[in-house]
Chains A and B, each alone.
Chain A
Amino acid sequence: MIVHEVLVVGGGLAGLMAALSISDKTDAAVLSKIYPTRSHSGAAQGGFNAVLGRNDSIEAHVFDTVKGSDYLGDQDAIEVLCSDGPEIILELEKMGVPWTRSADGGLAQRSLGGAGFPRACFAADFSGHVVLHTLYEQVLRRGVKIYPERHLLELLVEDERVAGALVYDLASARIDVIRAKQVILATGGYGRAFLKTTNAHANTGDGMAIAYRAGAVLSDMEFVQFHPTTLYGTNILVSEAARGEGGYLVNTEGERFMARYAPGKMELAPRDVVSRAIFKEIKDGRGFNGHYIHLDLTHLGEALVADRLPQVRDLAIRYAGVDPARMPMPIEPAQHYSMGGVRTDILGETTVSGLLAAGEVANVSVHGANRLGGNSLLETVVFGRRAGKRAEDLAKNQPWPHLSAGTVTRALERWEVALSPRSGARGTGDSTFDIRRELTSLMTDQVGVFRIGSELEDAVARIRELQVRYRRLPPSYGVQPFNYALIDYLEVGYLLELSELIAAGALARTESRGAHYRLDYPQRDDEMWLHHTFARLRDGCPEFSSGQVKITRYEPRERGY
């Protein structure tokens, strides 16, 4: 049996920051389904919001975030996010992050959507990548134990508290028991529930679903962010920085159509507003070939594109065959981020004792109904650090939680059965690939930017049918080294479970707020719906309830850009 006082699950920004904030006096380890430097945090391009400019203020950052969240964000958490930002950015600077600089030698900042000030610190358009690698360097410096290519299977719960985890080792095909006093989830989002997504293959909501199975409350799962600008066809991300640096969104008539949707902010309106505008243009017949619109950077000049957006340029040349310095890029919105997640307080604690969460897997809730660009990277480091510190504090003052041999044996036996190829079930012609394909198409087609009651109802019913089909399927090839089919089997299970919560939450919420837009309920309804959607597993089924939104300073107002 492996023993660590604190077990961090996930090796992206939030996980590594959590591990680094735990002192040498506490034994912590990081577990990751891929090598930490392969984490999807590395694909983040635009930047980290933090108030550094003399004319900017924490209050302004708080207000922009609250308004961006369509007033569903918890304002106490948002105040933490914005107040901790500047200090943590400078801390990252001392760790060696190669930030892009302004002429005076300080950190350069750029404008991202929904912000009243150029507030995002960045390193060209590799912002997530360079910080991920810098944190990895620091983890090496500290000698933190890393378990790569290990998959969390289950949180071991005894006496209603987490006492450890079952972990599947991809290389040895062994199930290990890890005892821990505190477990921090930093496993990211579930983007792969959608056919059209910017997310990596690894982003399958593992931690969210496993926490849910362990009894944790998930919150606001119906709020899914669709990024306005992804390369048409592949849905590879084109950073909001492309618009922050001055890019235009243009329809077939050569019009900068955002003038009709958000005359104040134009292309730098928040993502929910821009994604809806793009789909509306396409629906009204002003999309190219009926499917996409243009993101035009040609007026910015080759030097600026090469200097500030080198990755965007490479990606567009390779995957869309277009050099954005010379030709407009074909773009369409696609799933990008999960506002919802495992409910936590501002210290990172979930509703299950011994379990914390930070980053995209968590819902603290700083993004409410819509996240602003530059706030998720900030969230990973601010709340990753808080979760690490809190976990250490808790672990220091607590005895080892009880974990009985019976609990461990029962869990191991259950997984042994679950992961064995069962005889007779093959040959039905069904497969996880088919189920995944149907699920992801359904989510993109019916649980996307524009939603409507009848389609959501149908989506919930069909997801439940897919769940039934899934339960009849055996895993492929059983327990063998590097059996990715087995991982696929596990992942499809997580996606099905979370998709039901997303679609059912969207069906229940009969209003439009932030990224959740109902064609049949196009108005925000504060009287009925100014609250969080909580979901927890009870007797094998989701049980929904509502949670209060914390409003400290900014009463809900109409949101216009």
Chain B
Amino acid sequence: MRALGIKFANSISCQNTFNQVGFFDKLNKLDTNSEALVPNYKNLFQPSQLRRMSPILKAGLSLAISCKKACRAPFDSIIIGTGLGCLTDTGKFLQNINLKTGDSLSPTSFIQSTHNTIAGQISILLNNKGYNMTHSQNNLSFEMSLLDAMTEINEGKRSILVGGIDEAHPFLEEIKNRVVTKTYPNTLSAAFFVLDKADHQQTVQIKSVYTDFSSDSINPFIERVCKEGNIDFNQIDLVLHSGINSTLVAQHARSMNYLDYTGYNLSSSALATHFAYDFLKHNPNKTALIINHLCTSKSAIFIETNDQA
């Protein structure tokens, strides 16, 4: 595995995270009415562009712009993870099919419905002709994007933009209890990271990413990844988890169900990674673990700070 240095991170969520640092201690638990706190998009896009852009696209492009501003060098690779993709435009196009009279059907929502609309539009916006990938593996879409980023570093690439992004849709409320969980509000969240080879001047790095596709229970998985990473679970300074029922986690001195703060969507582990980054950035020499077991598959992301920040 190849560690990934985090050069920059930003997110749009129901918390005050956009362009913020030092927010970890100010995070509030969400309630059923929580909605994403979006930036003033009018400052970033023309009204004619905004009219056509879905919430997921606005959030994704805004974060890509902010990442580009913070790290001027062009990205060698753009990698996006999204569990359900562009739901708003998918729903809109199905609605258009339903209401269609005659032969004419507007293509706009179809064009913007594909999962790789976000990564593709970022490449156009930044005039970036590099590697462009979109992963859609349910709750592990972001983790698969991180593994892809590691392979890109392994191939000699230097600056990688990785985003985990999913949007809310009213229909998800309709099918609650069946497809999605009952407890947490469905939310839009997007967290983007500029990653590079974790060399010595990095303060925060993604040390390793583990995935498990078996139906085994969570405790043996946590024990296995800690052993492989040579880490004592109880020595981890912050454990963020997706509301899992585990004796190990329950006994940990500082564990937190991140879904209480991110809300529910298939990319919430990306936002939890931004939370962990913010915590570590201000707490040098510490380690964080994100355990994502939102669906059957599970993952663990180890993040740490090595140097004095």
* Same complex: no
* Chain B interfacial positions (CB closer than 8 Å to A): none
* Chain A interfacial positions (CB closer than 8 Å to B): none
